[in-house]
């Protein structure tokens, strides 16, 4: 894996996990990707939201086993994800992203 890509994924994961505190009052610090709801991602703004969205997309890309992506398509999917989550704040963010990328 490209070191630059690895660093970006690590940063995204740290930011996503770091923003998890308001999500639930768990005793441990372990989190799962599927515990985040659309409203959690939408509460963030700017770079934090962008990184969370990129992390979700990258996570699903990795699960698919694919390494190819199109920047224009990713941008459109990010916009679609935001619109979808604004309309469906109580949906799990991972489920929402899976619907967007179909």
**pLDDT digit string (tens) for 5-56?**
444 444 444 444 444 444 444 457 787 888 999 999 999 988 999 999 999 9
Residue 13: predicted pLDDT: 47
DSSP reduced 3-state for 46: helix
Which pTM does this prediction carry?
0.70
Radius of gyration of the chain (CA): 13
CB within 8 A of 4, min separation 6: which ones? none
Domains of the chain: 3-101 (1.10.890.10)
Do 52 and 41 contact (CB within 8 A), yes or no? Answer: yes
């Amino acid at each position: 894996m490209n070191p630059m890509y690895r660093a970006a994924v690590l940063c995204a994961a740290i930011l996503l996990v770091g923003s998890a505190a308001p999500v639930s009052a768990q005793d441990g610090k372990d989190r799962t990707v599927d515990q985040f709801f659309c409203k959690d991602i939408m509460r963030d703004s700017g770079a934090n939201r962008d990184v969370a969205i990129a992390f979700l997309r990258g996570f699903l890309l990795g699960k698919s086993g694919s390494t190819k992506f199109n920047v224009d398509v990713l941008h459109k999917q990010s916009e679609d994800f935001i619109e979808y989550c604004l309309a469906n704040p109580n949906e799990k963010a991972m489920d929402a992203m899976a619907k967007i990328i179909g």
